Amino acid sequence: MAIKFNKAAYDLAVSMIKNGLEVEHDANNWDEVQANLSEQVRYLNTHGLEQYGTWFLGIDTDADPKSKDKYVYPFGDFSVLHKSALLVAVKKAEQDQDEEIKKAASQLLGMIK
């Protein structure tokens, strides 16, 4: 799996944080609040694949370019940014040795007050 940093997603997350838009600060609830499959499909159907991708810090360049599965390292649930999602992204990126993603997620965490 070759992961490319998704700058558009990072910029969206920065904007959300800087503008105080819908940031969930709970650090331990990502498993409970992440979008389920039906929510993902609903978002895809109403917003399209490109907009869907802006909620993910990474793009798997080996995946089918027309599949939602190409997007990895989510930072939110399509409505709010979640601190817990960023914590998971840092941990997973560290395990996967995706240094650029780890750095980006860590920077975002540092911006959350």
**Residue 29, C-beta contacts closer than 8 angstroms, at least 6 positions apart:** 82, 84
Tokens of 44: 């895809």
Number of folded domains that form the chain: 1
Residue 58 · residue 104 · CB < 8 Å: no
pLDDT at 25: 67
Kind of pairing between the strands at 81-82 and 56-60: unpaired
pLDDT at 22: 64
pLDDT at 1: 67
For 74, the domain range is: 3-111
Residue ranges of the chain with per-residue pLDDT less than 50? none
pTM of the model: 0.91
